[in-house]
Structures are given as structure tokens and as C-alpha cells.
Structure 1
């Protein structure tokens, strides 16, 4: 395990595995880097996969309370890339990690080769179709695994991958840090800035996501120039884990963009 130093001096734990073009994975709200589990392992067959613990999570330091915004958390991601000796990377963010990825592409465009956004949103919105299901939110707050698992994962996949499920839902974090992650995610609002994203962007969204309904992915597609939206039939909020076919889609997307860039150079 390695440590990067964030702008406020907070130490951020990170690891890298695999070889090839760098791919930064940004985990969701109050989720540790270990939560990427089998997805990180599969991606590391093709890329140099870099993961890190958000501040307040896992082995990372807590840092200052006022640094818990999705925009400032993007600066943490930059610190990790710098510590890894990476000038630019493909970026894959899930849920709150996707919100952070948006700011990374907006504020640090030179750092982002391609952007993959899974089960995420541009933030607060008056469109009722973007709002989470009330029962799903209640289940999320409950912390009851029996109620949480169906929100994220397909039943059969969860039954076959109990270790991955347990790791995903088990992060070392204080109530203080979890509350600030929740607040950062809830207050995210990037809609007015998404039009400035230049990185080729792939949006992955489950059609049955109760926490971040599909309407969010549709609006992201409309706001991010040239982006591609893939609707994943029947998938919930954890499609980055229980839908391994998404790895092939990501690889194909990156390869196509690489070829296009080569033709234009």
C-alpha cells in the first residue's frame, strides 16, 4: 500500500496492479477501494489499475471537514495520480465516484483520457424522474444487508459472490466520515458545468436502479458533449460489479477512442 498527500496534507492510501495504460477507479460514497473487488482484478488484466481510499475511509486520513465536497474530492484523486507518477489516466467512477469523476474532467481536463460514469448523476435536479425511490432510500439508511443487496446486485450474482458483497458493504469509516460523504454526494450539482467536459465519456446505467434512476443517465448523456449512454437492462445500482460485460464495453470504448485519436493525429 502507498500513500499520496492531498492538498490539505491528508494521507490517501492507494494501490496499483496490472500493466498498461493507467485506469483510475473512484469508489462510491463511503466505499473503500477494496469494494471494487473482482472488477479491479479483471480490469488489471488489461490496464494499470489504480485504486484509493477516499479521505475518512479505510486506511486514508480523515482530513478537514470542509474538504468533503465532490469538487474538492476530485483534487484528492489528482494527488493519487501524481503520487502514482501518472500524468493522465482513464477514469472510472461509480455513484459518488462518478460525481467526483465529473469534476475531475471539468477542473483537470489534462488528467482525463476517457471518462466512464456508472450509476451516477449530475446532482440535485427538479426533474422528479431523477429522484431516488423513497423505500430504497429508507433501506439504504437502515444498513440492513438483506434490504441493501437487492438495491445493488442481481440475486444470483450476490449468492455466488458473497465475499465481494461483504467487502463492498464493509468499509472502515466513522459515522463522522460517512455523514460527510453522504452530504458531499447529496449536495453535488455539476449540471451547469458538464458541457465543458472534453474527455470522451461513456455512461453506464441500469434500467432498474432505484437509488439513481435511469433518468439521471439520460440527462448526463444530454449534458456531456459527444457522450455515449449504455442502458443496462435489469441492472441496479451495483452494475459495476455484478455486470462483468461492462468491462468489455469499457475496453471497446477506450480502444475506439484510442484509434480515433490516432487517426486524427
Structure 2
């Protein structure tokens, strides 16, 4: 992955745990990037490198992933994840901060902004699962995550990973094969379950930062009726669609992902 804007990796003690992050760019408005359920920070490096052209980007290893603290004694619920991000922002004293979350990370961003939006300038919600109590299930298979993590723990090649991610490039497959073993299986299982038991819709009417909802055109995570409901709950939300992209949007269409993100971030409030 390109790393022309990569600065360093570091650890910070925030919300009672060690949180690892990667920093890109170092200039401009801070942007905290919160990845999805089995995406260590390093796998988002190629995205962060592009966003660092205009922003000071911090990519987090969410607890239970990558080099951040993990273990069966930790909690893996939405409120705790949100408190982690708040602790990270406060500990690093980031101000006027953009929070960009993908999938699980977008759900975390929503809960964060509901609980405490202090210092948050904008939210970018990238294809968040809209599952929850009494709602349509998240259209992914837990076994896909668990089997790939278990395979990675034993050791796997990029070619092995191709079975799980057949459309990815060799470089992307190599990186995921190298790092997937750092995603804790318990954290993944609990988070996947809570996609269906924790409700983010209750939070949406309370969001105050300008917010963008970015929707993949393939994969069915967010459907038309979901967008209509979200607009009703948060009429100020902007909705954009990334063509030719499944749920892992930047892996399918990096150019449009970056263009649409930057267009939103450059808007005058």
C-alpha cells in the first residue's frame, strides 16, 4: 500500500485501555477513521494515505483488533466502543474533528455523537449495518468472519485469503492475510451479535454535527426503505451513493469514495 503520507504508529492509554493508531499527513483538520468489524488499522492505510492529502488522519485499531488491547475481560458493546473513541479524541486533544466510520465503525460514530458530540465537526457514516431489534438481519454470515479468523490464526497465504475476498488485489490480500489473526474471535462474535440487539436508529434524531451517509450500490446493507427511514429520523443528513462498490467500498471504488468524502468535508457549514 502507498505510504507517502504515513507518519508513525503509536499507542495511547484512553478509556482505560491501550489504543493503537496510525497517523497520516499531520496537517489540516483532524480526521479519526474507525474501521469495521475485522479491519485492523493498517488495512485502511491506502485510504488514509489519500485522505491525508487534505486532513490529519488517525486510523484506529478498535479494541479487540490489530495492536490495541484485547482479551475476554474487555467489553465489546456499542457504548464502550463509543467511549473508546471519545477517550482517544480527548486524550490527544483533537479539536474540530471529523469522525469517519465504516460499517461497525459507522455505528460507533453514531453512538459517539449521540452521547457526546463535543469537538466533532462532521460525521461520515460509510455503509453502517442498519440491523437491530426487530429489524432485518445484517446481510453477512458470521461463519465467514469466524472461519477466516481461525484460518488466519493457523497461518494463511494471500492465495488462501482469496477464497474469502475473491475480488481483492494481491496486495490487499497479502495485507489482510498478514493481519487478520489480530482480530479477536470473541470480539467479532459479540459485535456481530450486537449488530442485531443494539439500536442505532434511536440515536439518529439526536445527532448535531453535519452528517454524510455513504451507501454502497451492491451488497444490500442499506436499502431504499432504510434510507427513507434515516432521512425521516435525521432530515439534515446528506446521502451519497458510490457506484460499482460493495460493502467494502474503498476496495471496490477508491476514487469515488475519496472524491465524495472530500467533497462533503470541504463544504462550508
TM-score band w.r.t. shorter chain: 0.7 to 0.9
CA–CA distance in structure 2, aligned partners of residues 16 and 251 of structure 1: 18
Residue in 1 that maps onto 2:88: 80
Residue in 1 that maps onto 2:242: 232
Shift of 1:203: 0.8
Q: 74-83 or 89-98: which moved more?
A: 74-83
Residue in 2 that maps onto 1:54: 62
SS of residue matched to 1:87: coil
Residue in 2 that maps onto 1:36: 44
- The question of whether the paired residues in 2 share the 8 Å contact of 1:37 and 1:164 is answered with no
Shift of 1:254: 1.5
- The question of whether the paired residues in 2 share the 8 Å contact of 1:38 and 1:164 is answered with no
1:178 is the counterpart of 2:188: yes
SS of residue matched to 2:165: helix
1:148 is the counterpart of 2:155: no
SS of residue matched to 1:25: strand
Which of 232, 243, 249 in structure 1 is aligned with 2:260?
249
The Cα offsets for residues 141-198 of structure 1, whole Å up to 9 and x where unpaired, read as: 5437445325xxxx3xx2xx32224424633133233323333434331212210101
Instruction: Give RMSD over aligned pairs.
Output: 2.4
Residue in 1 that maps onto 2:155: none
Residue in 2 that maps onto 1:12: 19
**Cα distance, 1:39–1:137 mapped onto 2, change above 3 Å:** same
Shift of 1:121: 2.9
**Cα distance, 1:192–1:177 mapped onto 2, change above 3 Å:** closer
CA–CA distance in structure 1, aligned partners of residues 71 and 96 of structure 2: 25
SS of residue matched to 2:20: strand
CA–CA distance in structure 1, aligned partners of residues 172 and 91 of structure 2: 28
- The question of whether the paired residues in 1 share the 8 Å contact of 2:10 and 2:22 is answered with yes
Q: 94-103 or 82-91: which moved more?
A: 82-91
Which of 119, 138, 161 in structure 2 is aligned with 1:111?
119
CA–CA distance in structure 2, aligned partners of residues 40 and 14 of structure 1: 12
CA–CA distance in structure 2, aligned partners of residues 41 and 108 of structure 1: 28
Residue in 2 that maps onto 1:100: 108
- The question of whether the paired residues in 1 share the 8 Å contact of 2:28 and 2:56 is answered with yes
After superposing on structure 2, the runs of 4+ consecutive aligned residues of structure 1 that deviate more than 6 Å are none
| Structure 1 runs not aligned, ≥5 long | 261-265
Q: Could you say which structure has the greater relative contact order, defined with CA pairs below 8 angstroms and 6 or more residues apart?
A: 1
Aligned length: 245
Shift of 1:108: 1.4
Question: Which structure has more helix as a fraction of its residues?
Answer: 1
CA–CA distance in structure 2, aligned partners of residues 148 and 218 of structure 1: 32
The Cα offsets for residues 37-82 of structure 1, whole Å up to 9 and x where unpaired, read as: 2111100111000111111212111267462111210111122222
Q: TM-score, normalised by structure 1?
A: 0.82
Q: TM-score, normalised by structure 2?
A: 0.81
CA–CA distance in structure 2, aligned partners of residues 61 and 139 of structure 1: 24
CA–CA distance in structure 2, aligned partners of residues 126 and 147 of structure 1: 33
**Cα distance, 1:246–1:168 mapped onto 2, change above 3 Å:** same
